[in-house]
Structure formats: C-alpha cells, structure tokens
Structure 1
Amino acid sequence: MKAQDAQRMKGLEALERRLAEDLSFLELPPKEWVPATEYDGVQVFDTVVIGAGMCGLVATASLKMLGIHNVVCLDRSPQGQEGPWVTFARMETLRSPKQLPGPALGLPALTFRAWYVSQFGAQAWDALGKIPKSQWMDYLVWYRRVLQLPVRNLVTVTEMTPVSQDLIALDVWDAESGRQERLYARHVVLATGRDGLGGGYVPEFVERVRSKFWAHSADEIDFPALKGKRVAVVGAGASAMDNAATALEAGAGQVDMIIRRKELPRINKFTGIASQGVVQGFAGLSDAWKWKFLDYVLGAQTPPPRDSTLRVSQHQNSRFFLGTAVTGLRESGDHIVVETSGGDVDYDFAIFATGFRVDLDRRPELKHFAPYIQFWSDVFTPEKGMENGELATSPYLGPDFEFLEKLPGSCPSLHLVHCFNYPASLSHGKLSGDIPAVSDGGRRLARGIARNLFVADRETHFANLVAFETPELLGDEWTDSAAMIPAILKGAAE
C-alpha cells in the first residue's frame, strides 16, 4: 500500500472513531422497540425501502436512528452503482455547493466535508471547487458502510400486492441467487429517484423512430459509437449539456444543441430563496400556494451549470440553436431528419434531454396500487393560465409522504406506501430528490412511519406497560412513621 493511501485510511479510521463516539454520546441508534411480527410463518419487515441511492440510504438511516431496525433496503444495481452518479449522470461535478451537509442527519462527522478532510486535509478542502461525481459516490458507499445499513443489491421488486390493510407482499427477483422471493412489509418506501413513478419523457413522434437512432438522456448510450457522427441534443438543462459534452469528448463530429427558448435560463430561482423556512414551511402552504411556487419555478426553468455549458461551448464543433422547436423526427435511409421550426436538419443520432414524467403504466410493480392513487389533478384546479401538466400528474401525498386514495376505502393499504422520490416535490417541497434538504426529508418520513407503527401496535405497547415490573425503589429507602401520628397529635394537644 502506498504511503499516501495508508495516510488516507488512517485519517478515515480516525473519523469513524469520532463518528462512533458521537453516536454513543447521543445513544444512537436507539434500541429496537417495534414488536416482531410474522405472516404465514415468515418474518415481516417493519419497512422495505426500494432504492439504495442517496434518498434510499437516508430513509434507511433515518429509520435506524429512531430505533426501527427491522428494515431492508433493496436495489437492482450492483454495489457502488446505485443512483445516477456513475451511470447516467454525465456531469463532471455536482451542482450543489460542497459545504452542504446533505445526507448527514445532523451529525458533523457524517458530512462529506468531514469524510473529505479526514483523507485529503483542510488545504485540499479549501482548494476544492465542486465535488467530483465519482467522489460523491465513494462517499455514499462509505456512508452505507459506516452506518451499517441493511442493503441488498441486485434485487428487483417485480410486484407489490396488498395482503391486508396493514400488510404488503413484495415479490422480488434476486439476480445473484437467480430466484424469486416473497417479502412482507408493514411499510414500503419508494426511494426510486426522478423516474420513480414513470420514466424518461420523449415526444410521441420520437417513439415511432427506431431506437438505434435516438436515446433519452438517462438511457445507457454508447458514446464511443458516436465518434465522427452528427448528433442532435434536444433540451437546455443540465442533463442536455452533460450529454452533449460527453458526446463531444467521445469524438462526435458535430453536436448541435436544439433549444426551444430564445435564451438559456440564467437564474436558479428556488436556490435563491433556499432556507429552513422553505424546507420546513413548504408543506404547510395551501394547495394554491404550493402550485403557485412550483409553477413559477418550472416556468422559469433551472439553468444548466456554467461549468457544464462551458464544457460544451469550448468545442468548435458544437452549436447552439436557440429559439428552435423540434416538431418531428423521421428516418431517412441510414440517418434521421430532425424537423424543427427553423427547417429540417440531418443527423446520425439524437439525444432527448426532455425530462421525466409520471406514468404508472411503466411501473409494473405498482399495478395493484396505481388505480387508487390520488393525484393533484384529482383534487386541485389551478387558476386560468397556470395549468401545468407536470404538476397535475404529481401524486397528492399525505404528511408522511404516503399515497392517498382517490376514493376513501378503495385501497386501505395504500397509506403504507410512501413516495420518497422526486414526484413528491409538489406536496412536500424538494426534500426527496436533491442534496440540500434530504436529511430533513428522511427524518420527516421516518418520524411518520415510527408514529404509525406505534399506533398500530398500541395494544402490545400497553400490555408491555402493564407487565413492566422492574422496581426503582426496593422498600429499604425509608421508615414508615404513620403509627406515630396519634402520639404526635396527643403531644401537640398537651
């Protein structure tokens, strides 16, 4: 082992001892308090968390920090590849400022900063601009290990079925063992990211063209195969820039950014008002105000990071077609034609960085619950001029991120499923998709589940209360002087 690597390991070990001491001082995690349950002779998990990316890890850790230990977190990806960071996230660095505590759950020794400084030193931290995405993944791997979170990789949830109003069955495929399993859970958390209730969105005319000619920005893309090719990238957000830059760096012959807006958005509106007021207060707004805030933010759009944009524009074979709408796509021999408001342009491949949409038909694991889920379109009608399809298809969630029924009583177990992913933003604010407030989101979720578990087990907890017989006093701490009262009274009378 190199001396530098040994020094880094030594620093990390010291940090881990510090974290262990902090947890010990706070008596964290607390002892298990939820009664064990079985169904049909099989252990029932108090919570199954689907997804072991950042949000899934924070949800699992938050539950553990409240003494809910009978939890399992499932992820279909191999260990170290959970979430987008080393897969379809093609930026070089994170957008979020390096100093944000993010997933740390209020523990200084659990922050990225502590993890980084322990290995590389304070001077390196001061010199660090933004966090490299692969290093963020390394941090999350450490986070999982140091908190001893119960994650199972290469496990895909194929179906969820209501068993009763208090229980859900999950059928899962374990790719490592090559077998199907059935798990049971009292609560299920969907920590499934931006596409957690659907998938990537592309216009309908795109889907009529063979997939060898196009991809969504979140798809696996063979970038080396684009060497020397003409590539169109549709969109103006961060993922559009990052995909365009990756294509250029892979040797694409020409990359054109096709952007509907006449100017790139320049101001990140929601970041400008970021505060604990927004984090804690957004959920308390009326529906009309929640809609008003997010409709405005979506309308203004989030600008791509400056670094990502420069990463594209520094290439002489990149072009920005502003004020140009894509109206169609068709095949023409061995290439495609992108139809735009400015005319038809020939390309070899197109990447659509056109976002995500809620589409429960694309989530077969939710088929038994999908018909009953209440959406904003079911309960809220915006003012004229503020119609927004993306917001309308957001799930209308309860205070613990739980799904609510369109028709009360139609699916009694629906409240056991918690939507801790990006589509929760309209109900709760940005607590379950981005780094800044993810700890607040995880703790809100975990407290709700803890409350529900205690209420559900109230008879057991009351029986335990009645049965508790451990004395604090042994009876030898005092002398009973009641027999002396008559004498005391007689003496006082005389």
Structure 2
Amino acid sequence: MATSLSELEQRVRDDLACLCVPPANWVVPSEAPGGEPVHDVIIIGGGMCGLVASFALRSAGIRNFRILDKAPKGLEGPWLTYARMETLRSPKQLTGPAYGMASLTFRAWFVAQFGHAAWEALDKIPRPMWADYLRWYRDVLDLPVENEVEVLRILPEGDFLRLDLAGQGRREDKVLARRVIMATGRDGTGRANIPSFVDGLPRSHWAHSADPIDFTALKGKRVVVVGVGASAVDNAAEALEAGVAEVRLLARRKTMPTINKLMGIGSFGFTAAYSDLSDAWRWRIMHYSFLTQTPAPRGSTLRVSRHENAYFHFGAGVEKARLHGDEVVLDLSEGRRLATDFIILGTGFLVEPLARTELAGYADRIALWRDRYEPPDGLEQQQLGNFPYLGDDFSFLERNAGEAPWLLRIHCFNYGASVSLGKTSGDIPGISEGAAWLARAIAAKFYGEDIEEHWRRLLAYATPELKGDEWRISDVPDEAAEEPAKRRGLR
C-alpha cells in the first residue's frame, strides 16, 4: 500500500489510466430550442451518494453532468452537521464508494497517512474522519461539485427537465437537463418526522435531531429525548456531555431493540437479488425490518448509559405536550406525566414525496407502494406504503399511465429507494453496486433514445483499419485440368 497521501493519489491516477477512466464521451449532445445548452444529467446532492453516482457516470463515458449541493463546501451530507455519533456503524473494512478500486477505499486512504499498525488498532471509523475521506475522494477524482446551489423545483419542459436554482453559488437561475438524479440523502424523498404533540410548543423548547442544536445552551437543564434509535441515542450523548442536568429517553415500545436483522442476510446475493424479488417478498422483508427496528450501536448506547443522570424509559409514549410556565409537561401513556425543559425528537424521517418542494405540483402523480401492492392481513404498514414504487433504474413511475411521463427522467438515488431496490442508495455497504446499476441504466436509456444518430454514426464511420499495404495479390493457379496423380506428384 501507499505510504503517503501523495503516493496514494498517484496510484489512483495510475489505476484510472489502466482502467481507461474516464472514456471519451459518447452521448449525443442535446440542444433546446433557441440554442440553450442541455446537460445530460444533473445530480442534486454532493454527499456520498452524489459523489459515487457522478464517478459512475464518468466511468461510463457520460461526462456532461453537474453536481449541485446547497451546503457550503465540506458540509455536504450529515457528517459534520446533524450526525452526532462518535463513529460509523459500518465495519471499517467495507469498501463503500470505492467503485471497485482498492486505491479509493477508506482503508487505503487511512493507511497512507497513519500506517498498517494504526489500521489494525482502529475499531470503527470516526465520523469526522469519514467526512475527511469523502472530501479527499471528491478532490482526487476531481468531481465538480457546485456548492451553495439549491434546486427549488424540477419541471418538465418538452423533452427535458427545467431546474429552478437559488443560492449564492449558482451560475444561473435555470438549467435544463435530460435526466435528474436526486442524491438527496436520508430525507431525500420526504421530511423530518415531527410528531403532532409538539404542535403547540414554541420552537425554543424543542428540536428535531436533524436540526442545529446549541447543546451548550442546555447545560444544567432537563432534557427529554423521544426515541431510542441511533439518532436519539447520539443526541442524548451530546446533551449529557454538554452538562445537562438529566436526559430521559422515552420509547413507546416495551423493550430495547437489540438485533440489526438485515445484517443477518447482508451479502452480495441479497444486494443483487432484492430488486428482482416479488413485491410480496420485498414488502415482507422490509416490513420485518421496520417491525423489529434497527438498534442503536453498542458504543453509542454505552456512551449514554455511562452517565448516572441518563435514564431509559420504555412503554412511555408521549401523548401530549404543553407549556407550563418555563417548563414542558408531557402526558405519557398509562396516565403518567413528566416535566422537562427541552425536547429532542429522535424520531427520524418520513418518506413523503409530497413534502419535496422540488416535486411540487405533481408529486401526487408518483406511484407509491400503496398504489401497487396490497399487503396481506397482519403485514400492513403505513410508512412502507408511502415509499415510491420505483423502476429498476431508480426512476419514479407514474401512478396513472400518461399523466406524468417525465417522471421516468427523475431518478430517486436516496433512502426513498429502499423498499423497491434495497440498501443500494444510501448505506455504505451497497452504494457502489447501486451507482453502477444507475449509471448502466441511464447509459442504456441515452443510447436507446438516440439510436437514429448512433446508426448514422455507424454508417458514416470511415476510419480504415487497413491501409492496403499489408498484403500482396496473387493469382490463383489453374490446376483443374491436370491429372490427379500429377497434382499429387506421382508418376
């Protein structure tokens, strides 16, 4: 392995050269009426998903793309904003966005800087270090992320998609694209899950775990965290380490989830086969995963429980919250009450296409799982039914044929794809496989759409392989009239 970052970066360049990446662009250029340029693909999101998707496109010879991210440079994704775990959950050896290149793995990047002994001693990847690695990945591959550019809306315009832009980093107010990839992360097809019990509370007394939270301002106060999943536990730890008086984690369920069920079947086979399974099997697997829930990591949970002023309460669902003076009073299940100073909602995200402003005006035309599949008794799950029912190229499908054909040009490469295509568009283990499928599918669509032009290119191609000086013309000997024995040299 490389023993310095500069040596590793040269190795990446050599590997790319050996693999002939990037190949020449083969996509037929598009032009809108009036001569306005058209981008082949615009990727919304410059985090992990957007980066590996763009590298996959470039590796496939699709080079006319742009990557837009509303965050300042270095703050793409959740890693340095609302993600508050100490380390990643994923094992350190997973290759993540490396796309089959050993030189692009986190391991190669880490060893080049800290050595093999440090790698062997490393348990889990520190969260800020993962953010550093992704920044290096972006830089070494020269991926053109445009920061502080927000996509306000995506609208159909003829054969293309029109994107309205905002933000200090934008070069223009509107752009055209043939296809759009929504690499928009955990809430990429929805919104934060805000329970209704906080509707009457002032914002000064509660926050969602994805919000910016000034934990130092909570010092000495009582804090309630709703939920016991990973984000809830991580936020509880941050509050405790900031010196709060107490943290009480409230869970509606009776027991703590302890087993990450999907890890039990995680394999290349599962990743490859999932999208080909019947609707019944896909629903059954994801329903079971939702039912059992993914536990918070052991290290994150111990980070909380080592504090004596941390309390886990089960069977304690919040029914109502109200302000009483300067404190919040919570009505809990079974008639109990609890007073606190601040609430953190570790309640995750909802998949809800109607909440996406980019899709405003037609999100209700997107086919959802509830439109395509009716689960048997006992397997109903409202949130699963809200996931988009996607094509095998991550594209949105129409709820009713002919209503919104442009939806096929918008690709949902984020958490919203989970029920349709598995864990290939957000989680570290399958992200490269997902990006490869996405790039291959988009390449096939482009080629098919432009087949007439590719046929003309075939007919017009006239570069000779041979120049005419590679052979000599010889006369064929006339031996037909000779005696057979003579031809054999016999007397």
TM-score range, shorter chain: over 0.9
How far apart are residue 424 of structure 1 and its match? 0.5
Instruction: Give the letter for the 1:69 counterpart.
Output: R
Conservation of the 8 A alpha-carbon contact between 1:94 and 1:130 = yes
The answer to whether 1:336 aligns with 2:336 is no
Q: Does 1:115 align with 2:106?
A: no
Q: Return the alpha-carbon distance in structure 1 between the equivalents of residues 308 and 393 of structure 2.
A: 50
Q: 1:167·1:185 contact (CA, 8 Å) conserved in 2?
A: yes
- Report if aligned partners of 1:174, 1:180 keep a CA contact under 8 Å in 2: no
Give per-residue Cα distances to partners, 1:427-467, cap 9 Å, x unaligned.
00011111011000111111100100111111111111111
What does residue 352 of structure 1 align with?
Answer: 345
Distance, in Å, in 2 between the alignment partners of 1:315 and 1:11 is 40
| TM-score after normalising by structure 2 | 0.96
Aligned partner of residue 405 in structure 2, secondary structure: coil
Q: 1:484 offset after TM fit, Å?
A: 3.7
Q: Following superposition of structure 1 onto structure 2, how do residues 96-111 of structure 1 map, counting pairs within 5 Å?
A: 96-111=90-105
- Note if contact 1:50-1:73 (Cα within 8 Å) is conserved in structure 2: yes
Q: 1:239 aligns with which of 221, 231, 235?
A: 231
In structure 2, relative to structure 1, the CA distance for the partners of 1:268 and 1:36 (3 Å cut) is: same
Pairwise CA distance, 1:389: 1.1
Partner of 2:365: 372
Partner of 2:10: 17
Deviation track 1:163-221 (CA, whole Å, cap 9, x = no partner) reads 12x310101113136x7511111110001111111211122222232221111111111
Residue 380 of structure 2 aligns to a residue whose secondary structure is coil
State TM-score, norm by structure 1.
0.95
What is the CA distance between 1:477 and its match in structure 2? 2.3
Counterpart of 1:5 in structure 2 is none
1:489 is paired with a residue of what secondary structure?
coil
Aligned partners of 1:27, 1:492: CA distance in 2, in Å?
60
Q: 1:361 to 1:403 in 2, by over 3 A?
A: closer
Matched, 1:393 2:386: yes
Cα deviations across residues 73-101 of structure 1 (Å, max 9, x unaligned)? 11000111000001000001100000000
Give the aligned partner of residue 269 of structure 1.
261
Indicate the residue corresponding to 2:450 in structure 1. Answer: 457
Residue identity matched to 2:246: Q
Q: Which of 136, 141, 147 in structure 2 is aligned with 1:153?
A: 147
The aligned counterpart of 1:314 is: 306
For residues 314 and 456 of structure 2, the distance between their equivalents in structure 1, rounded to whole angstroms, comes to 69
| C-alpha distance after superposition, 1:106-157 (max 9, x if no partner) | 0000000000000100000001111011000000001011111121000000
- Determine which of 134, 139, 142 is the counterpart of 1:140: 134
1:319-347 Cα deviation digits (max 9, x unpaired): 11122111111111212111112511111
Matched residue, 1:4: none
Q: Distance in 1 between matches of 2:163 and 2:482?
A: 79
**Secondary structure at the residue paired with 1:452?**
helix
Which residue type is aligned with residue 147 of structure 2?
N
* AA at the equivalent of 2:94: L
Distance 1:361 1:413 in 2: 17
Q: Distance in 1 between matches of 2:417 and 2:468?
A: 56
- 8 Å Cα contact 2:260-2:293 kept in structure 1: yes
Amino acid across the alignment from 1:221: I
Residue number among 463, 469, 476 corresponding to 2:462 in the alignment:
469
Which amino acid letter does the alignment assign opposite residue 102 of structure 2?
A: P
| AA of the residue aligned to 1:313 | S
Q: 1:27 aligns with which of 20, 28, 32?
A: 20
Provide Cα deviations, 1:60-85, integer angstroms capped at 9, x if missing partner. 11101101110101100011100000
Please name the residue that 1:3 is paired with: none
Q: Does residue 186 in structure 1 map to residue 178 in structure 2?
A: yes
Partner of 1:428: 421
Shift of 1:362: 2.5
Cα shift readout 1:223-252 (whole Å, capped 9, x = no counterpart): 111111110000010000000000111111
Partner residue, 2:216: 224
Q: Does the 8 Å contact 1:57/1:149 carry over to 2?
A: yes
Q: Secondary structure at the match of 2:173?
A: strand
Contact in 1 for aligned 2:389/2:396 (Cα 8 Å) = yes
CA distance in 1 between counterparts of 2:426 and 2:200 reads 31
Deviations 1:293-313 (CA, angstroms, capped at 9, x unpaired): 010011011111111111111
